[in-house]
Amino acid sequence: MKVYLDNNATTRMAPEVLDAMMPFFNDQYGNPSSFHTFGSNLMEYIEKARQQVADLIGADPSEIFFTSGGTESDNTALFFGGETDPEKPGLITSVVEHPAVLKTARYLEQAGHPLGLVKVNSSGSIDLDSLEDLVSGKTGLVSIMKANNETGVIMQIKEAAEITHRAGALFHTDAVQAVGKIPVDVKAEEIDLLSLSAHKFHGPKGIGALYARKGIKLKPFMHGGHQEKGMRSGTYNIAGIVGLGKAAEMARNFISEEALITSALLEKLESGILKGCPGAVIVGTEAVRLPNTATVLFINVESEAILTLIDFAGISVSSGSACSTGSKDPSYVLTSMGISVADANTAIRFSLSMYTSNEEIDYVLQELPPIIEKLRKISPYA
Ligand code: PLP
């Protein structure tokens, strides 16, 4: 059996999304920016998709700019925030952000923007007092993720936005892991800028959007043609945009139903793991989490070994750590929650989707406990 539980890395594209995209790989191949009707008629599909994305997050279509995905949206927001006002060069983000935000923030710090990093508590939620201490009249932008990709912890975005606005700064959220999984409302949550990415909610890869509240005079991150009101140049990826729109429409229609199904399966998975694998610890249980994500510490058992054996069993999951050229870095997300390096190196992330079935969870609960038991027996730490 093949079981895919790595949906926070990417999701399977919905067949309905592929169907919606197909005409634009075939006979509808024009360039929407062309003068002739063969091309320019396609603009209506771009605008429909813009409406669908806007509807999913409670925005106005004029506030949606298509990008190549979460990374570009995050970069655009941070570069803009860093440059928006010379009197406010400061940037603030949190220690648990995705590298698309954290590395961009570090880059901007090198370029002369003072950087403040908000701490998280042991449950993985941002420490609002730490934000309050860092933000000042010199802060141009605060960027706090809506939900963490590793732990699934949902952050207190509205409260963070309020603190940010009291100091006169703009508020950006990387909502790449949240949009399509839980309700997001840019107006109710007082969000100025928001990043989203289609491939995290059953849309295609390489397409996303940046929401910029009306009144914000966004600066182009990519220079070139006139697309997206000159804010994001490059020939329209029309198939991708239509796919994003369709995925957004589907997410809006099924979000509550899907959350109920995935959260019931997640609960079954978590309680089955706790029962079948003594000593397992679920991360972030004190916080509100996404309905699809569980990171589990299998104390004293190295995640690398688990990943290898579980992969043999046909189960795709991921660990929190980044492995590169033989050296293994523990997850900075987990260590910043106060989890020791040794324990962080035992983490496995399970992330579900609307395509996850009860049978698949049964299969994981059948295969995983003997793997953990076997590894525990040969563990030098046990
Ligand atoms: N932000 C978060 C929280 C993510 O999880 C990811 C992808 O893993 C990204 C940004 C980057 O998105 P994209 O793959 O669309 O560039």
pLDDT per position as a tens digit, 15-33: 999 999 999 999 999 999 9
Domain count of the fold of the chain: 2
Pocket test for ligand 1, best of 149, 153, 290 (most atoms within 8 A of CB): 149
Q: For residue 145, give the ligand 1 atom closest to its CA.
A: 3
Same domain, 30 and 143: yes
* 198 CA from centroid of ligand 1 (Å): 10
Structure tokens at 44: 């209506």
Pocket test for ligand 1, best of 68, 197, 207 (most atoms within 8 A of CB): 197
Pocket test for ligand 1, best of 13, 200, 244 (most atoms within 8 A of CB): 200
Looking at residue 82, what is its pLDDT? 76
pLDDT per position as a tens digit, 163-181: 999 999 999 999 999 999 9
Q: Is pTM beyond 0.75 here?
A: yes
Domain boundary among 208, 224, 250: 250
Phi, psi of 13, deg, nearest 5: -75, 135
Domain boundary among 250, 273, 303: 250
- Confidence band for 377, pLDDT divided at 50, 70 and 90: confident
Q: What is the Cα–Cα distance from 192 to 162, expressed in whole angstroms?
A: 11
- Confidence band for 83, pLDDT divided at 50, 70 and 90: confident
Same domain, 274 and 357: yes
Q: What is the Cα–Cα distance from 232 to 287, expressed in whole angstroms?
A: 37
Average pLDDT rounded to a whole number, residues 223-247: 93
* 87 CA from centroid of ligand 1 (Å): 30
User: Which residue minimizes the CA distance to atom 13 of ligand 1?
Assistant: 70
User: What's the distance, Cα to Cα, between the start and end of the chain in Å?
Assistant: 31
Around Cβ 361, how many Cβ atoms within 10 Å?
21
* CATH number of the domain encompassing residue 31: 3.40.640.10
* 320 CA from centroid of ligand 1 (Å): 14
Q: For residue 74, give the ligand 1 atom closest to its CA.
A: 10
Looking at residue 232, what is its pLDDT? 92
Same domain, 202 and 295: no
277 among known catalytic residues: no
Q: For residue 149, give the ligand 1 atom closest to its CA.
A: 5
Three-point CA angle 97, 156, 172, nearest 5°: 55
* CATH number of the domain encompassing residue 277: 3.90.1150.10
* 70 CA from centroid of ligand 1 (Å): 5
Looking at residue 110, what is its pLDDT? 96
Q: What is the Cα–Cα distance from 83 to 65, expressed in whole angstroms?
A: 19
Domain boundary among 250, 280, 314: 250
- Confidence band for 326, pLDDT divided at 50, 70 and 90: very low
Residue 321 has pLDDT above 80, yes or no: no
Same domain, 237 and 278: no
Same domain, 282 and 232: no
- Domain span at residue 356 reads 3-9+255-378
* 378 CA from centroid of ligand 1 (Å): 36
Q: For residue 97, give the ligand 1 atom closest to its CA.
A: 3
Question: Is the sign of the CA dihedral 304, 348, 315, 174 positive or negative?
Answer: negative
Same domain, 43 and 160: yes
Hey, which bits of 29-138 come out as E strands? 64-67, 90-94, 115-118
Q: What is the Cα–Cα distance from 163 to 96, expressed in whole angstroms?
A: 19
- Confidence band for 374, pLDDT divided at 50, 70 and 90: very high
Q: Active-site residue among 322, 323, 342, 382?
A: 323
Beta bridge partners of 154: 147
Measured torsion, CA atoms of residues 61, 66, 72, 74, in degrees rounded to the nearest 10: 10
User: Which residue minimizes the CA distance to atom 12 of ligand 1?
Assistant: 70
Looking at residue 322, what is its pLDDT? 55
Same domain, 270 and 196: no
Same domain, 245 and 260: no
Helical axes 43-57 vs 238-276, angle rounded to 10°: 30
- The answer to whether 112 and 254 are in contact (CB under 8 A) is no
List ligand 1's pocket residues with C-beta within 6 A: 69-71, 74, 98, 100, 145, 149, 174, 176-177, 197, 208
- The answer to whether 242 and 20 are in contact (CB under 8 A) is yes
Residue 230 has pLDDT above 90, yes or no: no
Structure tokens at 119: 């701490």
* 88 CA from centroid of ligand 1 (Å): 27
Residue 141 has pLDDT above 70, yes or no: yes
Beta bridge partners of 318: 349
Q: What is the Cα–Cα distance from 144 to 139, expressed in whole angstroms?
A: 14
Phi, psi of 323, deg, nearest 5: -100, 125
* 234 CA from centroid of ligand 1 (Å): 21
Same domain, 190 and 245: yes
The percentage of the chain sitting over the pLDDT mark of 70, rounded to a whole number, equals 97
Mean predicted lDDT score pLDDT of the chain: 95
Same domain, 372 and 275: yes
* Helix (H), strand (E) counts: the chain: 12, 15
Same domain, 137 and 278: no
**Over the Cα atoms of the chain, what is R_g?**
21
Q: What is the Cα–Cα distance from 186 to 175, expressed in whole angstroms?
A: 10
Same domain, 165 and 192: yes
Looking at residue 278, what is its pLDDT? 93
User: Which residue minimizes the CA distance to atom 14 of ligand 1?
Assistant: 70
User: Which residue minimizes the CA distance to atom 5 of ligand 1?
Assistant: 149
